[in-house]
Amino acid sequence: MKTTLGAVVLLAASSAASAQSSVTMYGRVDGGIEYLNHIANGNGGSSSRWSAEGGDWGTSMFGLKGTEDLGGGSAAIFDLETAVQIMNGTTGGGRLWSRRAYVGLKNDTWGQLQAGRNLFIDSDGVWAFDPFVQQAVSSASLVRGRNWQQTSNNVEYHSPVWNGLDVQGQYSFGNQPGNFNAGAEGEFGRSDGIMLSYHSPLFDLRGIYDELRDSSGRFSNIFTASREYFVGGNLRVQKFKIQAAYTHYSAPDSPPGISDTADHYWLGATWQATPKWAVTAAGFYIHVGEGGGDASHDPASHAMLYALGATYNLSARTFLYGTVAYVDNSKNGTFSVFATPRDSSTPTSPMAGQSQTGAYVGMMHVF
């Protein structure tokens, strides 16, 4: 009888614990076909390519997240998430959890405090104000991926929402002795940011200030290690969502004579034609300030990117997509329709002053 009673008590305790805790597996899988022309070939000419690609609409990923109810409106949380390239089966650039790996506490009154690796604060905040939600063609294109980075050694705070208003702050330690601002080789240095948002049924507003340092702890490149000032807005009118933003980048530690500022603007709209069909159009403009350039720094230049895309929902979890884009570069501009660093080992940029057209179609499944 004692043994039976003990088993019942243990089972009841186990059931209660399960009811208060949960672990969720989640992710998405994206794959399709891509076309790109006018890719500089390094021999004074340019080439086109067709390729099978994963992640054009959004990064394929796999994750585990969980929560444990601690009582009194508090909970312990964690999230482990890595990028997946479905075309070759690789994950996360050598990291087990490339995008998120954090643990924290959440309280209904005081907000959420967490520590670990995460999307950099602008990557976490800009996508919701980008008409192309940071696809391969998006607000990331003309800033060479500056607004979709991840940082390690983060301590992060998310406030509750007060009458539509909330605050998020992020601080990333460099973890290096002798130089508080430096980071490990191949990593960002000390980086930080703050984000203020307001949401209402009609519109959203967001402002971000952040600092992304290189491994030496310096603001050395407007598109890889710089200060950023961002303001964006969303307006919802019947079946339309109109989105606009402005960003200023500053890299005061750039080499002498090199361009150290840039201004980025965009305006776009999404038309939800039917519950299944949506069409998005947008224009993105970049202006790089006065100064020269080199292998990893853009010179004074400007470019305009035009993009048109559509999605078709096959179900609540699966959709088809297609996007076409065209970039018009100034005399010194080498911007691609895709967010490729200037010194990338797999470049997609055209020759200086040349335009470029890109397109992709594919399928996304979310689980």
Quote the pLDDT of residue 20. Answer: 78
Quote the pLDDT of residue 191. Answer: 98
DSSP notation for 2-17: HHHHHHHHHHHHHHHH
Quote the pLDDT of residue 7. Answer: 39
Quote the pLDDT of residue 170. Answer: 98
Domains of the chain and any CATH numbers? 21-366 (2.40.160.10)
With beta carbons less than 8 A apart as the criterion, state whether 173 and 156 touch: no
Quote the pLDDT of residue 13. Answer: 37
Number of C-beta neighbours around residue 364 at 10 A: 21
Q: Measuring CA to CA, how many Å separate 32 from each of 29, 84, 130, 320, 362? A: 11, 14, 22, 10, 4
**283: Cβ contacts below 8 Å, ≥ 6 apart:** 266, 267, 268, 304, 305, 306, 307
**Residue-wise over 278-291: b if at least 16 C-beta within 10 A, else e?**
bebbbebbbebbeb
Quote the pLDDT of residue 42. Answer: 84
Mean pLDDT per 10-residue section of the chain, whose length is 367 residues: 37 45 97 98 92 97 98 97 96 92 97 98 96 98 97 98 98 97 97 98 98 98 98 98 98 98 98 98 98 97 98 98 98 97 93 98 98
